[in-house]
């Protein structure tokens, strides 16, 4: 009984199934088939191993019957393959074919492969005569007969790397790694090359060089993307919840809830940091695919200090509001403004940064207009002026981003390339928000009308959005030379102009507002140099200004709460004798703002002066040294107006007032935390400067 006879049993597979069992060699011409029959019998027959039936022992089987040979007409083949039912019923029963044939060692002792249980009909698995693969031997000992259990393998067979016979089998080679194509060449898939989208090659770079490629040594952040997302979502959710449910919670509990939310954000930002040269907590998912915008978030060595300071200031603002009579809606607005600012500092996409920027505008208008310390009409006029100026700056900024993205092909901050027109528009947009002279006129009125927490947020957080934008958009740009001289002149002029304006002010809050313009002038002067020292000066000066000016506004707010005014003459002299802790706090903040060595304000000014002295990459020596001279004059004038303020408020004979009382525990906790931060950063500036070693604009550009 040959192989085809075993196939032709009642209910068995048809003849074409038998051809599949005979192997791929059967389909070739007669000469090849006959050569395989006579010259290369199946190895299991050569070895004398028991086969599928008695007829197979001792020799090879016949490959095909004469009725289905190549020379037989097609009709006769069909008749032979499909005989009448009676003829099929007379055939002997076919023994079931075993599909789980195992391989054992070859005759020469070389190991075979085990664990191959099913016949694979792929192109690479050629079957020889008798259904055996080339170089393999079929055996009954490794098969699983029907209705019988698996044979118990020996312990040696269970050892890794050992075949059924006990000898080591040949390990399957590991798949070769796919060759990585050079950056920008695309990926070869199914015979075609897919090109990456614009900016995709460098979008995850931690740093970039002048050509937009990954800077050597730059590393991508780890899997902390959900951490950054949670740090943004928590204050947003709590803030909007307090605004909507303001009738169901009292102000003190709302303030403590807001402080807890911002504490969680501060903690998440702190634990997400992975070191300089990285994009920590990176998350990148599609957002608006038609515009090429993505939800690309992460923090770098530049944005991380801004994010930490924002969360820290927001916590202190919430603690400041933890008193009776506080509106939960005000706490909610503080959280929304802080979360929007955190979004700006965490955005790696230009359009996403712009959206977060605009989210902070409307809540700030409500804070200034509805919770003002002054007359309502004056407050709303100041809030409207603030909104008009900032919206105009936003329009310029948006047009500049669109032009840069259209001509550069990407919205990613690491790949966007503003041209001359775009860089001018972007610079004007951020100059309004910083603010830079002569676009600063909205700031003093807004500070005068805003409540204490509004002034603190406006000075410590909102103004930093403008300086941060100049840092990441204008500073690393190749086109900064178009605007650098104007930035240097405007920054230096702002230092002098604000100092002169401060000297004639009687309102303490307006004095602090003008001093903020002067501090931002130092930051803008440092950015215009585009030097290694300039980036450190800009970041350090911004952080120091946020801490020092926040302390000044908290002290001014305490005085206004006690005396009902921020006029220095109305507050009276001799505050040392009437409220000593309040006087000490105010004087410490004032001398830190004028740049006393050992405090935080000193290092930002010194680094800015050094950057101007070294000229930098894009400024000419006359322009840089002119800015240096104006900055030195501004420092002298700053010392003069702060000494005057200290003399009018803290020194002299005490003038008793019914509002005389010292700081309470809530005020001591808030201002004490800022005092510690100012002193620590002044005595250990390397805590911040180590983030920029080596100090370079490449760190700004991620």
Q: Are 702 and 279 in contact (CB under 8 A)?
A: yes
How do residues 216-233 score in pLDDT, each as one tens digit?
A: 334 444 455 688 999 999
Lowest mean per-residue pLDDT among 107-116, 375-384, 436-445, 514-523: 107-116
Rounded Cα distance between 588 and 663, Å, is: 15
Confidence tier at 587 by pLDDT (50, 70, 90): very high
Would you say residue 564 has pLDDT above 50? Answer: yes
Percent of the chain with pLDDT over 90: 48
**C-alpha distances out from residue 543 to 187, 190, 259, 281, 460, Å:** 44, 53, 21, 22, 8
What pLDDT, on the 0 to 100 scale, is given for residue 480?
87
**In b/e form, how buried is each residue of 41-77, taking b as 16+ CB within 10 angstroms?**
bbbbbeeebebbeeebeeebbebbbeebeeeeeeeee
What pLDDT, on the 0 to 100 scale, is given for residue 84?
52
How do residues 611-630 score in pLDDT, each as one tens digit?
A: 999 987 788 899 999 999 99
What pLDDT, on the 0 to 100 scale, is given for residue 291?
82
Q: Give pTM, 2 decimals.
A: 0.69
Query: How long, in residues, is the chain?
Result: 702
Residues 6+ away with beta carbon under 8 Å from 146: 96
What pLDDT, on the 0 to 100 scale, is given for residue 345?
95
Confidence tier at 200 by pLDDT (50, 70, 90): very low
What pLDDT, on the 0 to 100 scale, is given for residue 274?
82
Confidence tier at 474 by pLDDT (50, 70, 90): confident
Residues 6+ away with beta carbon under 8 Å from 300: 206, 278, 279, 280, 699, 702
Residue 287 phi, psi dihedral angles, 5° rounding: -130, -75
For residue 115, how many other CB atoms are within 10 A of its CB? 11
Confidence tier at 661 by pLDDT (50, 70, 90): confident
Q: Please state, rounded to an integer, the average pLDDT across all residues of the chain.
A: 76
HEC string of 537-589?
Answer: HHHHHHHHHHHHHHHHHHHHHHHHHHHCCCEHHHHCCCHHHHCHHHHHHHHHH
How do residues 330-377 score in pLDDT, each as one tens digit?
A: 999 999 999 999 999 999 999 999 999 999 999 999 999 999 888 889
Rounded Cα distance between 36 and 527, Å, is: 82
């Amino acid at each position: 009984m040959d192989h085809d006879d075993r196939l032709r049993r009642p209910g068995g597979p048809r003849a074409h199934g038998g051809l599949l069992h005979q192997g791929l060699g059967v389909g070739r011409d007669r000469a090849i088939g006959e050569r395989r029959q006579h010259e290369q019998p199946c190895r299991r027959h050569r070895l004398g191993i028991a086969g599928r039936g008695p007829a197979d022992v001792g020799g090879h089987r016949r490959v095909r019957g004469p009725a289905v040979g190549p020379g037989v007409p097609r009709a006769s083949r069909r008749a032979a393959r499909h005989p009448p039912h009676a003829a099929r019923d007379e055939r002997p029963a076919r023994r079931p074919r075993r599909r789980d044939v195992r391989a054992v060692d070859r005759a020469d002792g070389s190991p075979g492969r085990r664990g191959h249980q099913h016949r694979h009909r792929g192109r690479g698995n050629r079957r020889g005569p008798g259904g055996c693969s080339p170089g393999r031997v079929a055996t009954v000992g490794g098969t699983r007969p029907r209705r019988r259990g698996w044979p118990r393998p020996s312990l040696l067979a269970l050892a890794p790397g050992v075949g059924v016979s006990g000898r080591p089998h040949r390990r399957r080679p590991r798949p070769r790694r796919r060759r990585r194509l050079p950056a920008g060449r695309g990926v070869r898939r199914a015979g075609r090359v897919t090109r990456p989208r614009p900016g995709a090659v460098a979008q995850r770079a931690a740093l970039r060089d002048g050509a937009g490629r990954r800077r050597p040594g730059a590393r991508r952040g780890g899997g902390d993307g959900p951490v950054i997302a949670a740090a943004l979502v928590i204050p947003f959710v709590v803030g909007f919840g307090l605004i909507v449910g303001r009738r169901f919670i009292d102000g003190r509990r709302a303030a403590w809830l807001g402080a807890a939310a911002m504490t969680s954000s501060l903690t998440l930002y702190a634990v997400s940091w992975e070191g300089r040269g990285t994009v920590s907590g990176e998350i990148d998912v599609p957002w608006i695919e038609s515009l090429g915008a993505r939800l690309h978030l992460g923090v770098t060595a530049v944005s991380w200090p801004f994010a930490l300071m924002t969360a820290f200031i927001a916590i202190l603002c919430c603690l400041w509001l933890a008193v009776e009579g506080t509106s939960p809606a005000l706490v909610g607005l503080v959280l929304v403004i802080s979360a929007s600012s955190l979004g700006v500092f965490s955005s790696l996409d230009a359009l996403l940064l712009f959206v977060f920027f605009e989210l902070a505008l409307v809540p700030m208008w409500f804070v200034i207009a509805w919770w003002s310390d002054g007359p309502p009409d004056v407050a709303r006029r100041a809030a409207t002026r603030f909104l008009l100026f900032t919206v105009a700056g936003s329009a310029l900024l948006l047009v500049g981003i669109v032009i840069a993205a259209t001509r550069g092909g990407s919205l990613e901050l690491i790949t966007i390339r503003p041209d001359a027109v775009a860089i001018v528009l972007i610079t004007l947009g951020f100059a309004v928000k910083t603010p830079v002279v002569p676009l600063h006129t909205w700031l003093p009125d807004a500070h005068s009308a805003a409540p204490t927490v509004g002034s603190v947020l406006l000075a410590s957080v909102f103004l930093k959005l403008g300086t941060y934008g100049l840092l990441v958009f204008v500073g690393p740009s190749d086109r900064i030379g178009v605007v650098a001289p104007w930035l240097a002149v405007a920054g230096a002029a702002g230092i002098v102009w604000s100092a002169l304006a401060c000297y004639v002010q009687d309102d303490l809050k307006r004095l602090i507002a003008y001093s903020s313009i002067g501090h931002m002038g130092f930051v803008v002067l440092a950015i215009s140099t585009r030097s290694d020292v300039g980036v450190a000066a800009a970041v350090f000066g911004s952080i120091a200004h946020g801490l020092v000016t926040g302390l000044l506004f908290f002290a001014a707010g305490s005085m206004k709460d006690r005396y009902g005014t921020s006029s220095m003459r109305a507050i009276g002299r001799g505050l040392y004798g009437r409220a000593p802790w309040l006087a000490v706090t105010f004087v410490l903040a004032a001398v830190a703002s004028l740049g006393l060595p050992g405090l935080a304000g000193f290092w930002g000014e010194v680094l800015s002066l050094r950057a101007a002295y070294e000229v930098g990459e894009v400024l000419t020596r006359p322009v840089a040294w002119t800015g240096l001279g104006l900055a030195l004059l501004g420092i002298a004038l700053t010392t003069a107006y702060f000494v005057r303020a200290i003399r009018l408020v803290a020194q002299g004979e005490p003038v008793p007032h019914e509002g005389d009382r010292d700081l309470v525990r809530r005020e001591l906790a808030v201002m004490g935390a800022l005092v510690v931060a100012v002193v620590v950063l002044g005595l250990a500036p390397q805590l911040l400067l180590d983030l920029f070693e080596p100090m370079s604009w490449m760190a700004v550009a991620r």
